[in-house]
Amino acid sequence: MLIIIDEREIVTSGYTSRFGSEGVASAGFYPLEFKEWVTAAADSDLGAIEAFLLGDCRDRQLYPKMIKERTRAPVIAMNEAPSLEQTLELFAAGVDDVVRKPIHVREILARVGAIRRRSEHDQICATVGDLRFFFDGRDPQLRGEELPLPRRERRILEYLVKNRGRRVSKAQIFNSIYGIFDEHVEENVVESHISKLRKKLRRSLGYDPINSVRYLGYRLDEPIGGH
């Protein structure tokens, strides 16, 4: 999930719409609302945030420190016009990257992924058995052939791959895929997506790599034996 901070509603709504078209959850904040939220938000909610996009705000250089005190998620500042002085001030304030608008949301996602890989040693792709996964929006590959998946199922699978070997709850998956502010989607939708995903993987692989335990959650297992 991404958070967009800007004084203009047309900017925040525009980006949330474009991220939504890519299957990525996001939410927009007015600056004053964001200050209240980020200081009081639960750690579990902040843990679901992949990055913060900092747009036009008064005293913008104060926001990176405010964010970094609560989370390690990247902060990307978006500038309206080129300005070396402004860019240097933003980097000095603690942002991880500065981009100039207009910028495509896919480029933003790619930059977020690059920053996280540098700071957390994340991989751009991962291999589990015969499956190869990518974290840049591409569909996974099965034995070199593309395995097309709907956006939500692909995002859930990517989340399980990033946490492979570790069990994650339905709530964690929901927050990662739908965001922590979506009140119009029931958490149980995760079960429906995972059920469809498991059927496709079972049909393609001949076995089900997603281990589920009631009340404990889901885990992507490495293939064993003849798998």
80-94: per-residue pLDDT in tens? 888 899 999 999 999
DSSP letter (8 states) at residue 13:
H
Q: How much is the pTM?
A: 0.69
DSSP letter (8 states) at residue 61:
G
Q: For residue 62, what are the domain limits?
A: 2-120
Q: Are residues 113 and 163 in the same domain?
A: no
Cα separation, 33 vs 75, whole angstroms: 17
Residue, of 99 and 118, whose pLDDT is higher: 99
185-205: per-residue pLDDT in tens? 788 889 999 999 999 999 998
Q: Are residues 135 and 112 in the same domain?
A: no
Q: Which residue has the tokens 């495509």?
A: 104
Which of residues 120, 146, 161 is at a domain's end? Answer: 120
47-81: per-residue pLDDT in tens? 889 899 999 999 999 999 999 999 999 999 999 88
- How many structural domains comprise the chain? 2
CA distances in angstroms from 70 to 73, 100, 114, listed in the order given: 9, 26, 21
Cα separation, 146 vs 169, whole angstroms: 28
In a domain, residue 225? The reply is: no
DSSP letter (8 states) at residue 138:
P
Q: Compute φ and ψ for 25, nearest 5 degrees.
A: -75, 145
Q: Are residues 37 and 111 in the same domain?
A: yes
Cα separation, 13 vs 141, whole angstroms: 34
Residue 141 has pLDDT above 60, yes or no: yes
Q: CATH no. for residue 208?
A: 1.10.10.10
Which of residues 102, 120, 138 is at a domain's end? Answer: 120
